[in-house]
Amino acid sequence: MSVHRVMGIETEYGISVPGHPTMNAMVSSTHIVNAYAQEVIAAGRRKARWDYDLESPLRDARGFDMSRAEADPSQFTDDDLGLANVVLTNGARLYVDHAHPEYSAPEVTNPRDAALWDRAGVLVMERAAALASRNGSSPPINLYKNNTDNKGASYGTHENYLMRRQTPFADIVRHLIPFFITRQVFTGSGRLGIGQEGRSMRYQLSQRADFFEVEVGLETTLKRPIINTRDEPHADPEKYRRLHVIVGDANLCDVATYLKMGTTSLVLAMIEDGALDHVDLMPRKPVSEMHAVSHDTTLGHRVALADGRMLTAIEIQMQLCYLARKYCEEQAAGEIDEQTQDVLDRWSATLTDLSNDPMTCANRIDWVAKLALLEEYRSRDGLDWSAHRLQAIDLQYSDVRHDKGLASRLEARGRLDRLFTDTDVERAMTTPPDDTRAYFRGECLRRYPEQVAAASWDSVVFDIPGHESLLRVPTLEPLRGTREHVGALLDASPTPQDLIAALSVSA
Amino acid sequence: MSQRESAERRTTKPSDTEETTATRGEAAASADLDSDVDSILDEIDSVLEENAEDFVKSFVQKGGQ
């Protein structure tokens, strides 16, 4: 048992065009994606489109399909034909989703890499926005790695975790609900505003919490559920489920992203192994408790459990953290891998620090870092919580520009801990992870840009001269197509024809 | 702390003055921290969107997932 599993993060960015408030967001988002595609991927070369053949966003993990007639049109993912949608050499997908530019990071095998390739996405967006204004196709566009406009709209930062298909979905629901409601104490990015429309100007832990209205469901755009049942594994559905987590905030702190992915992976491992079978932390009213935990920055709120106990979010997290450590120690017989040990240590240290004095986490947890800054402004300038300047700080904290984004400024000052160097992040903008099928996808795009017609999570489609039809190479197994698996094959294939011939022989 | 006191304190940089050197003692660490905070706020003042009210009001998004 460890933090290692196939995972990834997809982020919809907030978008605004200063001075042009009525500009259509689909149009401005398309400028962003096209600018990056044209100038960075390969000037004048073919842009690999997204291959939609295997998308099934209406498949439900509970075992039935929603008919398209019943579905809200915003749930479709394949009718946005014509909107920009490209695959990058780092294995990511960059596209327009529901009037936001979205960066879906490549699949990775561990939380550290998840945080790294997610962060590379911020750099992709910064670069894309700079290119869009430079090529004159649009007025300057600003992008924000946040989740709400504080006026009723929310857009997501989704985590994906590959799980064993045989794990009963009811177990996932029972154990993840209490975990998700309480992990906000370290995953929250902070928000000045209460309620979906930000009617009351008080500060809360999470950008997303107030937008959740039900416990379990398929929707992602309305009546958002704490547990999303979208069952679209992008992999062999007999073996795998992709758990699509929509409750998370967009994090700017490396450590927050890393802890979010690492701790969730550990809890999933315990669920898969039945290690939580005798644990019951289910709140009596999950949705209202989720809001209440987020609204209490003293972290003193007590969650009423179904069995009558009243526990704080930190107490619930400490219990899960303790169980995870104990379980890892038992399973690994003292040989816990380095990253799993690091996640366990940071998890427990952060919980202890939060319980002693949340402000001691201003170096690693977004909601605390932002709150510290807001309090410093309030104290210096005597500002009331309703001051527009404070709301501007809340928003600009997530600006993707390194010279304007306040998280970026705090980081440059050494106030936020970093897990990666600038070089690491720049490299991840163009280089795929070695140890998943993203390696094959990204390397095919880098090596054979003219002949890759399309790609998706589970395919790379070649257009080979002399072949009448397109050749589709399925990549249904996320842990194949790694450097170890296909690196030598790619090196020995100067052309895609060579690669196809070699794959046919080895298949 | 009043705005005025705060503004006066911001104009005094510990490294620039003899007084500060003379009073270095248990308050030094806290003064360093304060000046650090002040200089961060000064930097942020310089990058913050000029018209906060317009900036906040015009940030209107369409819902997403």
Q: What is the pLDDT of residue A22?
A: 83
Q: What is the pLDDT of residues A343-398, one digit of tens each?
A: 999 999 999 999 999 999 999 999 999 999 999 999 999 999 999 999 999 999 99
Residue of A146, A377, A396 to mutate, testing the B interface (most B Cβ within 10 Å of its Cβ)? A396
Three-class HEC string of A345-376: HHHHHHHHHHHHCHHHHCCCCHHHHHHHHHHH
Q: What is the pLDDT of residues B10-58, one digit of tens each?
A: 444 444 444 444 444 556 667 777 778 888 899 999 999 989 999 999 9
Which residues lie across from A154 on neighbouring strands? A148
Query: Cα dist. A259→A228, A251, A344 in Å?
Result: 21, 11, 9
Instruction: Reply yes or no on whether A97 is catalytic.
Output: yes
Q: Can you tell me which residue has the tokens 């402004």?
A: A377
Which chain B residues touch A379 with a CB distance below 8 Å? 1, 6
- Chain B's closest residue to A155, CA to CA, is B64
Q: How far apart are CA B12 and CA A23, in angstroms?
A: 46
Q: What is the pLDDT of residues A389-444, one digit of tens each?
A: 999 999 999 999 999 999 999 999 999 999 999 999 999 999 999 999 999 999 99
**What ipTM score was computed for the predicted complex, to two decimals?**
0.88
- The residue annotated as part of the active site, out of A51, A97, A394, A435, is A97
Which chain A residues touch B10 with a CB distance below 8 Å? 380
* From A220, A388, A415, residue closest to B65, measured CB to CB: A220
**pLDDT band at residue A69 under the 50/70/90 scheme:** very low
Q: What is the pLDDT of residue B28?
A: 65
List A residues 85-104 in contact with B (Cβ-Cβ < 8 A): 97-100
The pairing of strands A452-456 and A49-50 is parallel
Find, among A262, A239, A49, the residue nearest to A162 by Cα. A239
Q: What is the pLDDT of residues A254-305, one digit of tens each?
A: 999 999 999 999 999 999 999 999 999 999 999 999 999 999 999 999 999 9
Architecture of domain A7-427: 2-Layer Sandwich (3.30)
Q: What is the pLDDT of residues A194-234, one digit of tens each?
A: 999 999 999 999 999 999 999 999 988 889 999 999 989 99
Domain boundaries in chain A?
7-427, 437-506
List A residues 6-25 in contact with B (Cβ-Cβ < 8 A): 12, 14-16, 18, 21, 25
